[in-house]
Structure 1
């Protein structure tokens, strides 16, 4: 385990930020998600995708009116889908929960 709050050593900074955002968004699975991230890199792609989608969404929301930017709804849906996928993966994972 690395010293970066539960990321496996070869996780990128983008993946780390995505993990942190997901841990805030999904507090019910925060410890389990951190444990899985520390043990394996198989979710790093999803963490990175979440970070990139979340940052883009924030920029769209800050710079544009919701009615003028259909990308806001699209990126909200994308973030929700990634959250759902991560939740499903974590809850179905065979790694025992942390103690």
Structure 2
């Protein structure tokens, strides 16, 4: 994981998707798409947290960022499923 935002995103995804925790940790080091999604997840989830703290709440923005976070989570799950279906590489 090349940067701090990506690392924070990875940690958040590991908390959100505990069944994939180990696989996420391994894949994030070698899969650039996953590393980019971790960084995007950090940005989106941080913005969602900020939106939830505003007064008054902007429900449309909250819904928008909830959707973005869900879509990133689904993409991360897809990457993990695809990776787990691959044959191990020969030594």
TM-score after normalising by structure 2? 0.84
1:92 matched to 2:66? The reply is no
Task: Specify which structure has the higher proportion of helix.
Answer: 2
Shift of 1:37: 1.4
Report the counterpart of residue 11 of structure 2 in structure 1: 20
Point out where structure 2 has 5 or more consecutive residues left out of the alignment. Answer: none
Q: Unmatched 5+ residue regions in structure 1?
A: 1-6
Per the alignment, residue 21 of structure 2 pairs with 30
40, 52, 72: which one aligns with 1:82: 72
Q: Is the 8 A contact 2:29 2:35 kept in 1?
A: no
The whole-number CA distance in structure 2 between the counterparts of 1:31 and 1:91 is 13
Q: TM-score, normalised by structure 1?
A: 0.78
Asked if 1:53 corresponds to 2:44, the answer is yes
Misfit runs of 4+, over 4 Å: none
Indicate the RMSD between aligned Cα atoms, in angstroms: 1.7
